[in-house]
Chains A and B, each alone.
Chain A
Amino acid sequence: MQAETTIEPPRAHYLNADYGWRSWLFTTDHKRIGILYLVSITLFFFLGGLFAALVRLELATPAGDLVSSETYNKLFSMHGIIMVFFFLIPSIPAVLGNFLVPLMIGARDVAFPRLNLLSWYLFNLGGLFMLYAVLRGGVDTGWTFYPPYSSNFANTNVAAAVTAIFIAGFSSILTGLNFVVTIHSMRAPGMTWFRLPLFIWSMYATSIIQVLGTPVLAITLALVAAERLLHLGVFDPAYGGDPVLFQHLFWFYSHPAVYIMVLPSMGVVSELVATFTRKNVYGYKFVAFSSIAIAVFGFLVWGHHLFVSGQSVYAGMVFSFLSYAVAIPSAIKVFNWTATLHKASVSYQTPMLYAFGFIGLFTIGGLTGLFLAALGIDIHVTDTYFVIAHFHYIMVGGAVMGYLGGLHYWWPKISGRMYPEGWAKLSALVVFTGFNLTFFPQFLLGYMGMPRRYHAYPPEFQVLNVMSSAGATILGVGYVLPMVYLVWSMRYGPKASANPWPSTGLEWQTSSPPPTENFEVTPVVTNEPYDFPALARGRAGAQLEPEAHPA
């Protein structure tokens, strides 16, 4: 079996196996479900981006002159809610995870395919509630829904919005559940835990967070709705309640949620670094365990969002210390990726450009997180643009870069076509430039004292704000370009072979696009992960011997 395989594009694969809207809307094929999610989250991404554009437009001038402050509150709230819950949380798990997890472990599908489809429908049902809330005028509580404003005083569509997130949350829970069971129960023969691709380790860790954390968000938002609708006053000081309790429960989920957003991206980067250096990732086991460590430690730090809330200083010190600890496994990954580059033959194709972008920008985002974890500094910069810059460096500079890199890397597998490399490289550079121009000035603004969630600011901040808004425009262009050329490539792109890069991993041992059952014959794994020397010698990542388990 040759490494650059000459497998012809198959006559029948998962895209042409069946036609018609019913074959898509009632599919249980994990690959088709991944594409269904791709469509849904892309729509929400552009809606969330529209709100961001309006925010940046308002902030181009110091006066609050584009919209009223009430409307501005709605703009940033909708931007946050849609981007977090309807784009970032599902993005890599539901699109790339759904598509790749069974392929990478050598399975025919996930453990519960119908549950998988249900997850997609739940996501869209939540999305419909969200659209309803938007069309009715939106919410102005911020994506964090703090009471007592959200429970007692906001007269916007809080109940609709929290219902939307509640339902979408169950979509996330079920996806995580599906992946946990799939990874435990359905690995191909020979696919031991330490032969798994690092993307699978990341997805497993992410799924643990989804399963353990999201239910807490669900009950907490349900309590806000109950307080609004049924007068059950769990956070109401009039009943002896404490609004800070809401913050504890909310951030118990929402901090690990940021790891739901970034861990899969880290998994993608591991795959990209391995493939485009043609080396095993340095310290595979360290990187694998660091994913689990991030998932576990990520649950211990939520109080760093409550430093100025009235939380006990002693609890604050504990959470500050733990927040420093959680940076360590992330740093281990960055060190190991960097070490992989040493004496490697690096090729600079588009996915690798996104990987480099991730490593640099995530490092900046992560380090500024440590600034925020220091109690003293946090007093100064909390609720300023410093925080906004910090989390956008991680969410956009990190998570979205990884998502785009992965989308490009696996595009030939998903669509059977190659994207145009020239346009893709250009887009990557546009995104990188636009991103830094948008968000680096915000570190400076925040440090100088510009508060977040305000639509007016002192005139001396205007220059940096204009830079930021200009950058946002460039960033927007960078996001539209892939939309265009990826869709174009589905029809006009050159056909892709099974293993175009080439890379190790079971997903590259089957055709592009794969058949519905993923593999003609169930693979038996004998190679260690990222065994590029074996690939070069012409031995594939797995023996595809006719087995006792024909697909």
Chain B
Amino acid sequence: MAESHATSYSALAHQFDTLEQQRDAATLGMWVFLVTEVMFFGGLFTSYVVYRSLHPFAFAQVSQHLDIALGTINTAVLICSSFTMATAVYGAQKGRRRMIVVFLTLTILLGLAFIGIKLYEYYQKFVEHFVPGNSFSFPAPYARQAEMFFSLYFAMTGLHALHMIVGVGLLTWLIVLTARGRFTPEYHSPVELTGLYWHFVDIVWIFLYPLLYLIGRHLE
């Protein structure tokens, strides 16, 4: 049996033979989970494709009511957070505790910034009466399609924001574990796997941004 760790905490679970097998299994598990997330968001993307194909001009018009400045800033914020996350993983691979904590913290702050901006956008939409439901109001002739567009907008960005919040929670937990000295260059799977999750959430936004914010700009 391979001797596999330098810390007193035994990282090798009993069902695995080596740390490498464990790490490979964990990585495969996270990628399979991300595929389930692809299909989960995929239902919403499918709905979007269907309705946009049915009402292309209406969707483009309605989309102009989204705040492109905030949307673009948010995209940049998430890209920065992916960079800091990748750097945190690098720190974990090198066993540099302070680096991990610093860059995880930066990632959390950027994530919170994203959520804050998103909440402000939601508030804007609420004030403008663009939230579907009894108080929805949109000028003719696209009121019906607008309610559909905004249903999709809130469903897709809402689900995305929910995933961000979970991600921020995971990152916080990682900081606690790092502070306790749980990770070494040989064992730091939780950091890597959380990184995969975080990058995935970034990728979802990379698609949401053009599909929601940019489709009508060329008609302005």
Contact = CB atoms under 8 A, between A and B. Distances in A.
B40 A219 contact: yes
A512 B51 CA distance: 58
Interface stretch (A5-13, A64-72, A238-246, A418-426): A238-246
Contact of B152 (A102, A186, A234): A234
Interface stretch (B22-30, B96-104, B166-174): B22-30
B54 interface: yes
Contacts of B144: 238-240
B15 A245 contact: no
Contact of A239 (B14, B46, B50, B148): B148
A218 B151 CA distance: 18
Interface string B134-172: 100000000011011001101100010000000000000
Contact of A234 (B29, B42, B148): B148
A327 interface: no
Interface of B: 1, 13-17, 21, 24-25, 28-29, 32-33, 35-37, 39-44, 46-47, 50-51, 54-55, 132-134, 144-145, 147-148, 151-152, 154-155, 159
A230 interface: yes
B122 to A, nearest CB: 13
10 contacts: A180-B28, A180-B32, A184-B25, A215-B36, A219-B43, A220-B43, A223-B43, A223-B44, A240-B148, A241-B51
Given A181-B25, A232-B151, A241-B51, A218 B40 contact: yes
Nearest to B15: A109
Interface in A373-387: none
Contact of B155 (A108, A110, A173, A226): A226
Contacts of A178: 29
Contact of B151 (A184, A186, A233, A517): A233
A232 B154 contact: yes
Contacts of B44: 219, 223
Which label, helix, strand, loop or mixed, suits the secondary structure of the A interface? Answer: helix
Interface string A186-199: 10000000000000
A104 interface: no
Interface in A83-111: 102, 107-111
Interface of A: 102, 107-113, 173, 177-178, 180-182, 184-186, 211-216, 218-220, 223, 226, 230-234, 238-242, 245, 248-249, 517, 522, 548-550
In this complex, the member of B21, B41, B51 whose beta carbon has the largest number of chain A beta carbons within 10 angstroms is B51
B151 A234 contact: yes
B14 A249 contact: no
Contacts, number: 116
Given A177-B32, A185-B25, A240-B51, A212 B39 contact: yes
A239 B147 contact: yes
Contacts of A238: 144
Contacts of A184: 25, 28
Nearest to A549: B17
A213 B42 CA distance: 11
Nearest to B144: A240
A232 B36 contact: no
Given A181-B25, A233-B132, A238-B144, A108 B40 contact: no
Contacts of A107: 15
A549 B145 CA distance: 63
A280 B187 CA distance: 43
Contacts of B15: 102, 107-111, 113, 186
A155 B7 CA distance: 59
A212 B155 CA distance: 21
Nearest to B36: A215
Nearest to A113: B15
Contacts of A180: 28, 32
Contacts of A522: 17
Given A111-B29, A185-B21, A240-B51, A216 B40 contact: yes
A549 B2 CA distance: 9
B54 to A, nearest CB: 7
Contacts of B16: 186
Contacts of B134: 231
A232 to B, nearest CB: 4
